[in-house]
Chains A and B, each alone.
Chain A
Amino acid sequence: MVTLPRFLNSFVFIVFVFALALAAKADAIKPGIIYDMGGKYDHSFNQSAAEGVDRFVKETGITCHEFELSNDAQRTQFMRQLIRHGVNIIAAIGFNQASAVEEMAREFPLVKFVIVDGTVNLPNVESVNYKEQQSSYLCGMAAALVSKTHKVGFVGGMDIPLIRKFAMGYTAGAKLIDPSIKVIVNMTGTTPSAWNDPIRGGELAKSQFGQGVDVVFHAAGSTGLGVMQAAKDAGLLSIGCDKNQDSVHPGSVLTSAVKRVDVAVYSAFMDAKNNTWKGGPKQLGLECDAVGYSLDQYNRLLITPAIEARLNQAKADIISGKISVPEYK
């Protein structure tokens, strides 16, 4: 057995460590994503995240491990499973996963985590939150600008803080245009099925129309599809949510309060791939177009240049801080 001199011994050790570090660096990223209980194809929030994954997969050719939750205990269970399968960056979609991400991020400090709609203060967690109140505010303004009856409506999904945030921004935006406007706010329900009940969404919208509402904004996942259908049937206007839903019923959807979850997921994975990923909290708002109102060929005729100018002015004012949008806390 050859015994190396002491300094050589430590030299070999250092080289070995460097080699390891290099190997780790060269190691390709393996992304994984955990959708919340709404499921991957919810026409809304989770699906937007899925689009970000698809774009990443298409551009890089790297496959992504996906999982849809069906109960609470599965959150940590399948994050662990992902990690055992060598996944080194996990995107957890939805505020319900914050506690699980915190637990897992402590247990696996070398794995990167991305939590959307929640905050976890650990170095290996990127917490992405959106200023939904800003886009809702602009949509409230748009609604008030086109409303002839001075009554606008809001249909939320489940009654949770996030949806109250939408309702609050929307109401404030409408009141900016017309301080005497009436905003009717309804929540669909108190169980998770409230996200997936288009029939009830339609009924709520119809009841609001009966009270004189002529523009209705939904923040209700699949339930919102019923809201939008009811608006189309009644010849009135609706406002879409999360994804750009202008094309769902062209001519009847005034605009959509867009929330680009896809961008957050895509850029987190991309950053990880390019070794530029950083943990920490991120508040994404109008300033980086992570939220906003949509304008395309489907609603070009509804959003007149005058309205567009008004909204863009408000957008600039919100970014510069001239308008402060109230936030549900």
Chain B
Amino acid sequence: MSQSRSALYLRLEPFLLPVLNLGLALLVSGLIIFSIGENPLKALQVIFQGSFGSGEGLGYTLFYSTNYIFTGLAVAVAYHAGLFNIGCEGQAYVGGLGVSFVGLYLGGLPAWCVIILGILAGALFGAAWAYVPAWLQARKGSHIVITTIMFNFIGSALMTWLLVVVLIKPGQQAPESREFSNHAFLPSLKGLFSYAGINLGQSPLNLALLISLTAAVAIWFLLWRTRFGYQLRVAGTSPAAARYAGISPENFMLKAMLLSGALAGCLGLNELMGSQHRLTLDFPAGAGFIGIAVALMGRNNPIGICFSALLFGALVQGGGELAFEMPHISHALVIVIQGLVILFCGALDQLLKKPLRRIFTTTV
């Protein structure tokens, strides 16, 4: 009896723990909101209403989630190869350059062709930006955490220079490119959602959501259902064992980072082709870093990542609405709430694990 109970608990643990951690994070956030004299329950309600309460809110939530699915997957793929890719921000930014080149210069082609080229270009540029740190780690032994962080800065320097000097639309202050050709606008999902009776309103939700979900399924299949994925995970879990089995960990390091950079590079599809329709300064806006938290919380599993991306999308969208509806809760406090969720779900993941296991698995 207790045997089966503990087995049941262990099966439920991957779902139960994140929910409990999220609850703890919201509890602490509530205390902070209470301490500044606002009603925490109302704040929670505003976040929930804002992110899921209307079709438009849902559209924005899913729009942000799309970004996080891409970057979360990127972090996860690298993680399975034993690498900590902190450079998704830079890879996404430079990937956006590839997407923009297609949008700006190849926009005359048929729309379907432009979109496919956009995906390829984003992936290619992102992968290229990830390749250098990967090569340095695999061949020269410099640590990937350091090099990818540095490449974020090099990437932003490159992009700022391009935007300020080369790609800027003449006669304006804002460092942004001219608008893409309209063949490079990713189609909205309004039509699709209206079949389900949901009106997405003015939200920028677009085809990139489906592309990101497809990528999630593809990554799951690749990692757990193919020989390549198995070798990659072996190389990541134990490089020595991999080498003994005839797998070169260095090779898989490179391949995993290329794949990771390619996934991050696709962020530009959603932000640029899907929403802004031009290349803007600093468009990833931290999505590359949030991807780390998304991957951690999703336990580096594509399905988990989709759910945690949904949570973070809801926090960004609901947090924006919260700052709007309750002016005393400033933008900074919204970041505190998001940070607490990351803290409890990511860093303090083990906090509840031991006590819960002790309670539910008495026989172990």
Contacts and interface: CB of A to CB of B under 8 A. Distances in A.
A95 B334 CA distance: 25
Interface stretch (A10-18, A154-162, A172-180): A154-162
Interface stretch (B17-25, B185-193, B273-281): B273-281
A191 B173 contact: no
Contacts of B331: 39-40, 68, 70
B323 interface: yes
Given A70-B331, A159-B160, A190-B157, A77 B320 contact: yes
A304 interface: no
Nearest to B319: A70
A119 B278 CA distance: 17
A283 interface: no
B2 interface: no
Given A77-B60, A81-B324, A190-B157, A68 B172 contact: no
B202 interface: yes
B271 A117 contact: no
B13 interface: no
Given A119-B172, A161-B173, A190-B156, A72 B327 contact: no
Nearest to B154: A190
Interface residues of A, number: 34
B207 interface: no
Given A72-B276, A190-B156, A190-B161, A95 B172 contact: yes
Contacts of B168: 161
A76 interface: yes
Nearest to A163: B164
Contacts of B176: 96, 99
A108 to B, nearest CB: 12
Given A72-B276, A72-B280, A80-B202, A67 B174 contact: no
Interface in B150-180: 153, 156-157, 159-161, 164, 168, 171-176
Given A73-B63, A78-B324, A160 B283 contact: no
A99 B202 contact: no
B173 A162 contact: yes
B330 interface: yes
Most A CB within 10 A of own CB, among B324, B327, B335: B324
B78 to A, nearest CB: 22
A144 B156 CA distance: 34
Contacts, number: 94
A117 B280 CA distance: 16
Size range of the chain B interface in the assembly: 35 or more
Interface in A62-82: 65-68, 70-74, 76-78, 80-81
Nearest to A78: B324
A78 B320 contact: yes
B320 A70 contact: yes
Given A73-B275, A78-B320, A192-B282, A98 B330 contact: no
Contacts of A160: 160, 164, 173, 175, 281
B204 interface: yes
A160 B176 CA distance: 11
A140 interface: no
A77 B156 CA distance: 26
B204 A73 contact: yes
Contacts of B359: none
Contacts of B196: none
A328 B22 CA distance: 50
A118 interface: yes
A161 B271 CA distance: 23
Nearest to B93: A191
Contacts of B285: 70-72
A253 B359 CA distance: 65
A72 B168 CA distance: 17
18 contacts: A66-B327, A70-B320, A71-B285, A72-B271, A72-B280, A72-B285, A73-B63, A73-B275, A77-B60, A96-B174, A96-B281, A98-B174, A99-B176, A118-B174, A159-B160, A161-B164, A161-B168, A190-B157
Interface of B: 60, 63-64, 153, 156-157, 159-161, 164, 168, 171-176, 202-204, 271, 275-276, 278, 280-283, 285-286, 316, 320-321, 323-324, 327, 330-332, 334-335
Given A73-B60, A95-B174, 5 more contacts: A39-B332, A40-B331, A70-B285, A73-B275, A81-B324
Interface of A: 39-40, 65-68, 70-74, 76-78, 80-81, 95-96, 98-99, 117-119, 129, 158-162, 164, 190-192, 329
> Which 8 pairs, one residue from A and one from B, show the smallest C-beta to C-beta distance?
A95-B173, A190-B160, A71-B285, A68-B331, A190-B157, A95-B174, A191-B156, A190-B156
